[in-house]
Amino acid sequence: MSEQIIASRRIDPVLVVASPISGQITSFNGPPGLFVQPGNPPAPYTVSNVSTKWMLASVVESDTPLFHLGQPVQVKVMAYPDHVFHGKISKIYAAVDPDTHRATIRSEIADPKNELRPGMLANFVIRVRNPTDAIAMPANGVVREADGTLTVWVTTDRHRFVQRIIRAGLRSAGQVQILDGLHQGELAVTDGAVFLSNMLQAPPTD
């Protein structure tokens, strides 16, 4: 009598569940033997749509009136210095940090290639209004006086100077936007403006 050995392989049951969204598995809570029922936690898998990321930005308290939901945002990160990511503001938090006097703004950033990573530092630009042409001058030519007003010194012959109150706008790259008080083509002092203001305020000498 001969005996025949037959090799067999155990086949474990496999449960296939279709995800309601396309994305990436970001957490797994389904060890072997876990009893799963719809609606009962924990979910065996968490699937996230990673084509959109959140960016949390801190902005100075005085600038918060400029921001609104839906405003376009441009983002750059050190890992991809030549690439600009685009998004829009999705939430403006109500609280202001009492220590830094900054508010938090959340933006939704499109990331179809899943290049952005949690914890990355980013530089961002938020367009608060449509671009306009304006006069600008170097920041060291604008003097803040003791009463808080901003002034510049203008001249027509480079020998006599007149102090003029101005209204300033945005500051960028060492330049100050002049909204009122200075006209295109006028000559204004840049280096040494603060010394002229100090001379004007100095008491007369004998």
Give the pLDDT confidence score for residue 14 in this predicted structure: 65
Top CATH class of 52-126 equals mainly beta
Give the pLDDT confidence score for residue 201 in this predicted structure: 66
Cα 100 to chain centroid distance, Å, stands at: 16
Bridge-based pairing of strands 45-48 and 24-28 is: antiparallel
Q: Residue ranges of the domains in the chain?
A: 52-126, 135-201
Task: Judge contact between 86 and 153, C-beta under 8 A.
Answer: no
| Total-model pTM | 0.54
pLDDT digits (tens, 9 = 90+) for 113-155: 999 998 999 999 988 877 778 889 998 889 888 888 899 989 8
Give the pLDDT confidence score for residue 7 in this predicted structure: 45
Per CATH, domain 135-201 is 2.40.420.20: yes
Give the pLDDT confidence score for residue 202 in this predicted structure: 59
Give the pLDDT confidence score for residue 104 in this predicted structure: 95
Give the pLDDT confidence score for residue 4 in this predicted structure: 46
**206-to-186, 196, 198, 203 alpha-carbon distances in Å:** 35, 20, 18, 10
Which residues of the chain, if any, have pLDDT below 70? 1-17, 201-206
Tokens coding 197: 């203001």
